[in-house]
Structure 1
Amino acid sequence: REQAMILLRLTARSLWHRRTTALLTLITIGFSVMLFLGVEKVRTETRNSFANTLSGADLIVGARSGQIQLLLYSIFRIGDATSNISWQSYELVKNHKQVAWTVPISLGDSHKGYRVLGTTEGYFDHYRYGNRHLLRFEEGRRFEGLYDVVLGAEVADKLGYKIGSKIVVAHGIGNASFSKHEDKPFRVVGILERTGTPVDRTLHVSLEALEAIHIDWKAGVRIPGKNVSAEEAARLELQPKQITAFLVGMKSKVATFHLQRSINNYRKEPMLAILPGVALQQLWDMVGIAEKALMLVSAIVVVAGLVGMLTVILTSLNERRREMAILRSVGARAWQILLLLALESALLTLLGVGFGIFLLYGGIALAQPILESHIGVFIPLTPPSIYQWKLLGLVVVCGTLVGLIPGYRAYRYSVADGMTIRI
């Protein structure tokens, strides 16, 4: 124990004597560890955020296509449906004895690049994200009037809309559209709190509102000679004929698979029912190659940091030959010299890991609002997971092993070799 304390003191004094070099090495390892652990945390939280885009719904039902395609356009607002579902088929599923609730979704219009979603008030009661969080309003209320619109947080922030602002919806998808429903503008009545999901990038209106603005349109163009005003449209029968998709919540989870099979085998209309969790996992597996590439890059950065430390120690080893020889001459054994250099490497790596953790959490604290508002990923200030601690432990072990290389070289030096003056 006494020898161990002596070695630790020698290691600390040796590093302090070479504090400038040691500090630069520590900073290099610290930044490497910050990137390595940071990529792992971002990867984990991004995956969690991705998986928690929708929670609480047991099925997503749309026109028959592919699972991922249905998930993309119904939840992530990416792409379009191959076809729509009739209102009669929707009501057939809605009235099923095992169905607790349904939320219809109708897509097709946009506003300055943001998707417009037609739905019912049940959307605000049943849509869940994250750990079954309900949608909450930052300002205002739900849509009640025919031409009311509720905005996602990003839409309101990026376009500068407030409660009472007027909005004109365009037919189709895109930033620039010449087919606009200018005769039937909407009024902002609510702005949702930020969720970090596609809800933030969506404008929400009622299904009846979508019927009203398309009452004098057909196949994407206005019907010649037919011009129905906003007031006249409000007095008409606005029962939807078709919807894009709908979410289903079941009374019994056991009945989910039976209903899914019934919908997929429905003969009168080609429909597809998918389990959100399964489809989300399939989609993540498709894009998972990117996270593996990020981990590989960050691991290479850590290796580069450790190689840099090895280079510094080996470079300084020639200057420390006399120091090693003096230690040998006063009784230090060769294996103790090896252990001394390995301890130096381990201590530098350990301090570098600590510095990297400090940099990472300081960076997260500063970047949290930016990441959440611009990327939609919330990274909490939680301690590293067991897996992440294992990764950090592996870095320390690798750093210690790196120190054995110069330690072995010093082990082979003799006292006479250290005292020899080389020209």
Structure 2
Amino acid sequence: MKWLLMLAVRSACNRRLTLGMTLVAVALSVTLLLGVERVRHEARNSFALSVSGTDLVVGARTSAVQLMLYAVFRLGEASNNIRWQSYLTVAENPAVAWAIPLSLGDSHHGLPVLGTTTAYFEHFRYGDGQPLTFAAGAPFSGPFDTVLGAEVAERLGYSLGDSIVINHGMGDVSLAGHDDKPFTVVGILARTGTPVDRTLHVSLEAITAIHLDWAGGAPLPGLSIPPEHVRKFDLRPKEITAALVGLKNRAAVFRVQRQINNHADEPLLAVLPGVALDQLWQMVGLVERTLLAVSAMVVVVGLAGLVAVILASLGERRRELAILRSVGARPGELFLLLSAEALFVTLLGALLGVALLALLTALLAPLVQAHFGLSLQAQWVSADELRLLAAVVAAGLLASLVPGYSAYRLSLADGLTPRI
């Protein structure tokens, strides 16, 4: 048996160019399969950690998924706002440690504008409890200051001191602009890989100020309040879109949630971010399963190419196999010879795929972290990835039976008799 394995290795080395290209194809397909699995896992973690350290997300009565979409991901619009007094009632609950009001409804070049307070920069966490940090500048202090997410500044080319105009309405359906009240960029946040990156942050007072001379979603004809005069008005908000709430003791989360959901003055909804995000991920999980299926098909194509190459070489190796039969090799040994060759290429391709994945992870991790917020770590193969590798090897073993069986069927006469 030892001589048979050595013969299989030497035979493969003699056809190293052809098998080498097939080996590269198998290795790349394994890298793609494991890479998709790793990115899928990290994307799910990043998705779940878009907001961390927040115990409850509070908004008007709606579905938990819709509340998370507009309060955390800035997607869609709230069906209703909540009154400022209701927010204060929640914030003043003895069990609440901090609360962050959120006001949405305006945009800039299709990017969401978020009205909030400086508590946002103090208490908002993402990822593994990471705080927001400034790449430049500082939080807003005046009514017409704005702090940009990293993607906003990069995409639109803004820097500190630049002047921008906010439009009324969200996304592509934004209406007239608040041209008479421009904002000045005073801060740019470091990249987080979360919806924070594509958000413009202003104060709640700013949201009130730019709508002083508006009514019913449109500017009042003949009325214009200059920016320097807005401080003469009461700029406290009358309503907000949602709020993020942190508790002093997380053990009280269900009690506080029940109190908010039973709020007497208006219908409110408080959801646990982790539970709602799991529900939301289940809705978009079809995409990850599709990517994994496509990667698995790539592996199948790579293994099919391996079988095709070995089968194609059988025509050239018939005399070689016949000579082996003539010196005493049994049909079963020829079966093992061809099967071992295909399995060897599969195993080596899997190992090279793992090594290539480790190399790409080390090289691309900083870039992926900066632009997509995915924390790819150079690590040992995970349990899920091991299962995928085992499936690849098992598929390679099954594929290796095809050329082995073809060699088994070749007879001595077929190899020695010249064909006309």
CA distance in 2, matches of 1:374, 1:138: 15
**Which residue does 2:244 correspond to in 1?**
247
Q: Equivalent of 1:157, from 154, 162, 180? A: 154
CA distance in 2, matches of 1:97, 1:374: 40
Q: Equivalent of 1:67, from 64, 80, 83? A: 64
Amino acid in structure 1 at the alignment position of 2:130: H
Q: Secondary structure of 2:171's match?
A: coil
**Which residue does 1:328 correspond to in 2?**
325
Q: Deviations over 1:221-249 (max 9, x none)?
A: 22233322211112332111111100111
Tell me if the contact between 1:58 and 1:275 (Cα under 8 Å) persists in the aligned partners: yes
Q: Are 2:95 and 1:98 equivalent residues in the alignment? A: yes
Amino acid in structure 2 at the alignment position of 1:344: E
Tell me if the contact between 2:191 and 2:371 (Cα under 8 Å) persists in the aligned partners: no
Moved more, 76-85 or 362-371: 362-371
Moved more, 14-23 or 274-283: 14-23
Gaps spanning 5+ residues in structure 2: where?
Answer: none
Q: CA deviation at 1:373?
A: 5.5
Moved more, 239-248 or 397-406: 397-406
Q: Are 2:203 and 1:186 equivalent residues in the alignment? A: no
CA distance in 1, matches of 2:122, 2:99: 10
Identity %: 54
Amino acid in structure 2 at the alignment position of 1:285: Q
Q: Equivalent of 2:49, from 49, 52, 57? A: 52
**Which residue does 2:379 correspond to in 1?**
382
**Which residue does 1:292 correspond to in 2?**
289
CA distance in 2, matches of 1:128, 1:307: 48
**Which residue does 1:20 correspond to in 2?**
17
CA distance in 1, matches of 2:147, 2:403: 66
Q: Deviations over 1:323-342 (max 9, x none)?
A: 12222333333332222212
Q: Secondary structure of 2:419's match?
A: coil
Tell me if the contact between 1:328 and 1:415 (Cα under 8 Å) persists in the aligned partners: yes
Call closer, same or farther: CA 1:176–1:373 in 2, change over 3 Å.
farther
CA distance in 2, matches of 1:314, 1:246: 65
CA distance in 2, matches of 1:166, 1:382: 45
Call closer, same or farther: CA 1:386–1:201 in 2, change over 3 Å.
same
**Which residue does 1:419 correspond to in 2?**
416
TM-score by length of 2: 0.94
Amino acid in structure 2 at the alignment position of 1:180: G
Amino acid in structure 2 at the alignment position of 1:333: R
Tell me if the contact between 2:65 and 2:276 (Cα under 8 Å) persists in the aligned partners: yes
Amino acid in structure 2 at the alignment position of 1:266: H
Q: Equivalent of 1:107, from 81, 104, 107? A: 104
Tell me if the contact between 2:106 and 2:174 (Cα under 8 Å) persists in the aligned partners: no
Amino acid in structure 1 at the alignment position of 2:117: T
TM-score by length of 1: 0.94
Matched ranges for 1:205-220 at <5 A: 205-220=202-217
Call closer, same or farther: CA 1:372–1:158 in 2, change over 3 Å.
farther
Matched ranges for 1:230-379 at <5 A: 230-364=227-361, 367-368=364-365, 371-372=368-369, 375-379=372-376
CA distance in 2, matches of 1:261, 1:176: 36
**Which residue does 2:141 correspond to in 1?**
144
**Which residue does 2:36 correspond to in 1?**
39
Gaps spanning 5+ residues in structure 1: where?
Answer: none
Q: CA deviation at 1:118?
A: 0.7
